[in-house]
Structure 1
Amino acid sequence: MFKKTCLALALVGAAAAAHAGPTLINEGFDNVNALPGWLISNQGTPGVGTTEPWVQGDQSIFTALSGAPNSYLSSNYNNVPVGGTLSSWLVSPVFSTAENLEVSFWARGDILPGFFDQLTYGLVNAAGVFSSFVPQATVTVTGAWTQYSFLLSGQGAGSTSRFAIQYVGAGNDANYVGVDNVTVNVPEPSTWALAGVSLLGLVAARRRRAQR
């Protein structure tokens, strides 16, 4: 049922938007030790490495998007042993999915020649079970803070979920990644309407191709 629900996800890219509705989550990661309701876990293989999966940002590598210089979360290749595969999870508190929502976060990496960092993001169920993960997209982060966001259609009264970010890829190819300013908002109607127009255009284009 959860996976069927998540088919309603609509990717709208890394575009900022104004919000008229309530904010359900607004986390700037000022203190990794004060994140009530958040889940952090290392599921890397063949096992964990020498560093914690998500820790306070290191301002000597780069500074936060906003706030104190170290007010972001970071993760790095040492989460797994040499030759291992990264799977470092950052999962939000539970939030209501009764209404249309916009989910957004910012990310950047410490870019070194020959290395790259990837994040997969999407939803898990309210229990935070990793096997319930429905990915929205996988991105290779850049050397500048970049915003990623998507829209989620309302699932009706009583429905809930969690937003999840997973640091992925081969540890040998990765370096260092940061995440900042995770938000979950009820978007203004115009934001949703524009996304609807885009989706309708996509459907129409597919129909035209099918008729050829």
Structure 2
Amino acid sequence: MTIRRTASALLLAVVANAAQANTVLSESFDNVATLPASGWAQINLSTAPVGQPWFQGNAGIFTAASGAPNAYIAANFLSTGSTTGAISNWLITPEIALDSSSVLSFMFRAAGDGFLDKVEVRLSTNGASTNVADFSSLIGSFQASTDTGWVGLSYTLGSVAVPTTGRLAFRYVVDNVAIAGNYVGIDDVVVTSAIPEPGTWLLMGLGVAGLLLRRRVTA
């Protein structure tokens, strides 16, 4: 009876572990200059002449959602150097493990001031690829023409049917900087998964199997 109860407890531990959120990625943008070394990538496909990439937040425009005043990443209408150009400025996460339980959460803020700002969140399941053509899956978007304050956004990646690796991308989108586009910020990016590492399942399974084998031998 004791062995049976112990085995049941181990099985419950497996279930409990599966329900816990495992952090796959966490980035608070304390130092944007260090992002490339961590696997982040940037691609600016805005109208030529191409302007500036995503950059360290400007605390003079607004402060970060958490941490130091400038601890967020930002992009603005100067992503293109054309006075009537379009913006398509990509910020791409490192390659991470993805599955149907994966959840992306982050903080977003638009400065607005009458100019429409928009960010798209896109998904690629093509491993380490940074080819924007691979980010064909739009999982969400947010836009505003007024100062929104920091808004918490969250998207579940239920479309990932089979566990794989890939990247997520934030795309700053403006159709025409003559009439739209001002300044946006992103902070506190977190990706979690409810599925434990394969090694955890293996260890739990071996423990249960060992107890059941012991019960059979001693019966």
**CA 1:47–1:132: 2 relative to 1, 3 Å:** farther
Tell me, yes or no, if the aligned pair for 1:75 and 1:177 is still in contact at 8 Å: yes
List gaps (5 residues or longer) in structure 1: 1-18, 189-212
1:182 aligned to which of 189, 196, 205: 189
Tell me, yes or no, if the aligned pair for 2:99 and 2:157 is still in contact at 8 Å: no
2:171 is matched with: 166
Tell me, yes or no, if the aligned pair for 2:42 and 2:91 is still in contact at 8 Å: yes
Alpha-carbon distance between aligned partners in 1 of 2:116 and 2:24, rounded to the nearest angstrom = 32
RMSD (Å) for aligned C-alpha atoms: 1.8
1:108 is matched with: 109
Alpha-carbon distance between aligned partners in 1 of 2:88 and 2:99, rounded to the nearest angstrom = 29
1:87 is matched with: 88
**Cα deviation, residue 53, structure 1:** 1.6
1:48 is matched with: 50
2:28 is matched with: 28
Alpha-carbon distance between aligned partners in 2 of 1:98 and 1:178, rounded to the nearest angstrom = 27
Tell me, yes or no, if the aligned pair for 2:89 and 2:171 is still in contact at 8 Å: yes
Alignment of 1:103-182 (within 5 A): 103-113=104-114, 115-124=115-124, 125-126=126-127, 127-133=129-135, 134-141=137-144, 142-153=147-158, 154-157=160-163, 159-169=164-174, 170-172=176-178, 173-182=180-189
For residues 96-123 of structure 1, the C-alpha deviation after alignment (integer angstroms, 9 at most, x for no partner) is 114511111111011213x121001121
2:7 is matched with: none
2:39 aligned to which of 37, 46, 50: 37
Q: With structure 2 as the length reference, what TM-score do the two structures score?
A: 0.71
Name the aligned partner's letter for residue 40 of structure 2: W
Percentage of matched positions with identical amino acids = 34
Name the aligned partner's letter for residue 88 of structure 1: N
Q: Secondary structure at the match of 1:68?
A: coil
Tell me, yes or no, if the aligned pair for 2:57 and 2:72 is still in contact at 8 Å: yes
Q: Secondary structure at the match of 1:171?
A: coil
Alpha-carbon distance between aligned partners in 2 of 1:53 and 1:135, rounded to the nearest angstrom = 21
Tell me, yes or no, if the aligned pair for 1:97 and 1:155 is still in contact at 8 Å: no
**Cα deviation, residue 171, structure 1:** 2.0
Q: With structure 1 as the length reference, what TM-score do the two structures score?
A: 0.73
**CA 1:147–1:187: 2 relative to 1, 3 Å:** farther
For residues 110-164 of structure 1, the C-alpha deviation after alignment (integer angstroms, 9 at most, x for no partner) is 1213x1210011212321210111212221045210111111135435x111010
| Count, aligned residues | 166
Q: Secondary structure at the match of 1:90?
A: strand
Name the aligned partner's letter for residue 107 of structure 2: W
Tell me, yes or no, if the aligned pair for 1:46 and 1:85 is still in contact at 8 Å: no
Alpha-carbon distance between aligned partners in 2 of 1:138 and 1:104, rounded to the nearest angstrom = 13
Alpha-carbon distance between aligned partners in 1 of 2:24 and 2:30, rounded to the nearest angstrom = 18
Q: Secondary structure at the match of 1:61?
A: coil
List gaps (5 residues or longer) in structure 2: 1-18, 196-219
Tell me, yes or no, if the aligned pair for 2:107 and 2:188 is still in contact at 8 Å: yes
Alpha-carbon distance between aligned partners in 2 of 1:89 and 1:171, rounded to the nearest angstrom = 17
Alpha-carbon distance between aligned partners in 2 of 1:105 and 1:56, rounded to the nearest angstrom = 16
**Cα deviation, residue 187, structure 1:** 4.3
More helix by share: 2
